[in-house]
Structure 1
């Protein structure tokens, strides 16, 4: 326990310093950032391997004989700051190692979090869920190389950001953050603030001013967000509220998230299947045939696939509507959708009760947002897959379970349905018998 220091000499070399807790009383009243001191009788030790803020291999340890004298009147040409600004690739190389705490600079692209408009953390304090911190903000920063990275600010640094953000008449464009710790969240590299993090806006420093100048000169040629930036939001576990906040604040785009939620109702009024082309696009009907608007082809035979909507609720009691598609529908029901149309009139086919077996369970959903979600009047979220949860694959008719396999012959390990060699490979168009094949919708010319 103690106080970590970053010291800069007249040649702009940096070295890490450390004052043990039992010696703090000697120096804490005189310590002030950006002041110049003369140090005598200190110990030089190897720099520690964790949480480094300097590239120097050695560090300075304050001992009982160490003296520190402030030099007020002397004119010393010593830099007040020295940054170690790094790129996304540099952060990815040391993610989750807790070694170096580098600095980052970029253009603010998205800001969201607790009490963003409140001047202090004490005003309408957010509700704490579990062990989560009481105060946080998260940002997207676009860097010069076109990479975008997500940053989490916690507690005091979040409050400082909020105070600066709300006190500026013109909203800042550029942000520089020091000593951030790279962490993997939801499969993506993110940056988290530390207790030593400081923040600087537009004109605070020559570095931020230079970045603003570059933005002004190259605004027409700003780098596009590269594929790695999409991974910032892809595969991250978020709440329903955070998904809606993302839609409200971001530009229309394609993005994916993980979300834990509990189905509360299957919305029968929106149906449970559709007739598709082999490309999975819903077929349109003409007087004599079925037509695929994607392939631009006429189809006499369509494929029955699951598509049904469920109402879900997350741990914060926020609600949303998810759309489940064929792959997950087969895992839930244990049958292809055609099976349940075998003895039913197509237009009056009742929703199979087995699809309602997921009600009350908690599952991990992979949600895919498209540009449609940013303009939709009735918001629904497409489920790419259901990853966790105990899915009952047995129908209510008591018929023996059938393992549904993918085109490669393996079951989806995310759901955990057992694989078997007693069943042949089943593609999207596999039917259980020739009789069921005849039940697929057919229009003769």
Structure 2
């Protein structure tokens, strides 16, 4: 039976599949707890399905299954796939339990693809902005990696974060932000041991917009796979065959702010002096002010909705966003 023919809550015979990838989904809190073990299965037709295991059976299946191996499976349950944040765009999903049988197969092993991804070209990412029905997979040449840093999210929670830069075969670059465990488990040591160029597939991402451009962020289902065995890899290796430069290290947020030079032509003022200035009389005028940060007001988060033209705060009235200088906006405000 093929994965393509699976129908929710209809009887299904044995399947021959390969385990493409596997991850533990955890709760989003200060002390994340395992919710489920999740897998992507692919068959020889190249179709894929999302399979999930209840939290109580996680260790049982971690001991039973190996990523990359092929199995014949029976006694599983076919259910509806989730309605949003789909890892695989299949109407059905599989539920596995301790009654599910897995028999390793070797005869048809080579017929089943090694990997499966829901890839999208970087120049098409704008079509996925804020559309989370399906999660997005991307593949490209890894050009830069940022060290892990701590950031405050939702005004109070501290999270681990790191950025990556991926470049496609046309030279377009996209920034990916890895959060939490996706950031901490990213293989820094693996990058140093691999000869350049390094190619990377990053799965199950959400596409958002920042300053008019698409940006990618990880989810609890995100997996990073170096040099995956997919048809695009050969094409990319040919394109970047002469590239010998190592992966660059991106500066952290703290380093970027620390390195910002202040022009010697700026007039120096204290905070008290700045507070006495009339903003209307000093438009586009810059001053130097040396001060010590003694605390953060996180009551409204780290950013605000700003006018895309002047970046002043906007207000929402009667279903539209209003800027004091530019009136009613015909574009969405930008985080600033």
Q: Shorter chain as normaliser: what TM range? A: 0.5 to 0.7
Shift of 1:103: 1.4
| Contact 1:266–1:308 (8 Å) recurs in 2 | no
Q: Secondary structure at the match of 1:158?
A: helix
Higher strand content, 1 or 2:
2
Q: CA-to-partner distance for each residue in 1:146-186, whole Å, 9 max, x for gaps? A: 53321102233323232323344x45443321222223345
State the Cα distance separating 1:63 from its structure 2 match.
5.3
The residue that corresponds to 1:412 in the other structure is 325
* TM superposition shift of 1:187: 5.1
Deviation per CA, 1:356-415, whole angstroms, max 9, x where unpaired? xxxxxx99799xxxxxxxxxxxxxxxxx956249xxxxxxxxxxxxxxxxxxxx95269x
Q: 1:139 to 1:78 in 2, by over 3 A?
A: same
Offset at residue 245 of structure 1 (A): 7.0
Q: 1:101 to 1:364 in 2, by over 3 A?
A: closer
**Contact (CA 8 Å) 1:103, 1:176: kept in 2 or not?**
yes
User: Contact conserved, 2:41 with 2:49, CA < 8 A, in 1?
Assistant: yes
Q: Where in structure 2 are the equivalents of 1:31-70 lying within 5 Å?
A: 31-62=65-96, 66-70=99-103
Q: Quote the offset at 1:30 in angstroms.
A: 0.3
Does the alignment pair 1:210 with 2:260?
no
State the TM-score, normalized to the length of structure 1: 0.47
Structure 2 distance, partners of 1:365, 1:17, is: 39
Q: 1:312 to 1:139 in 2, by over 3 A?
A: farther
Rg larger for: 1
Unaligned runs of 5+ in 2: 1-34, 244-251, 262-269, 296-301, 315-322, 328-336
Q: 1:312 to 1:185 in 2, by over 3 A?
A: farther
Aligned to 2:287: 309
CA distance in 2, matches of 1:265, 1:140: 42
- Give the match for residue 136 of structure 1: 161
**Cα offset, 1:138, TM superposition:** 0.8
Hey, what does 2:188 align to over in structure 1?
Answer: 162
Shift of 1:70: 2.8
User: Would you say how many aligned residue pairs link Structure 1 and Structure 2?
Assistant: 258
| Distance (whole Å) between structure 1 residues aligned to residue 254 and residue 43 of structure 2 | 50
1:99-110 matches, within 5 Å, as: 99-110=133-144
Aligned partners of 1:197 and 1:184: how far apart in 2? 19
Q: CA deviation at 1:48?
A: 1.6
TM-score by length of structure 2 reads 0.59
1:83 Cα shift?
1.9
TM-aligned CA deviation for residue 113 of structure 1: 3.8
Larger RCO, structure (CA 8 Å, separation 6 or more): 2
Structure 1 unaligned blocks of 5 or more: 115-125, 220-237, 248-262, 273-303, 318-361, 367-383, 390-409, 415-445
Matched, 1:177 2:202: yes
SS state of the match for residue 68, structure 2? Answer: coil
CA deviation digits over 1:127-149, x for unaligned, max 9? 5544231x321122222345332
How far apart, in 2, do the equivalents of 1:203 and 1:26 lie? 27
Partner of 2:312: 387
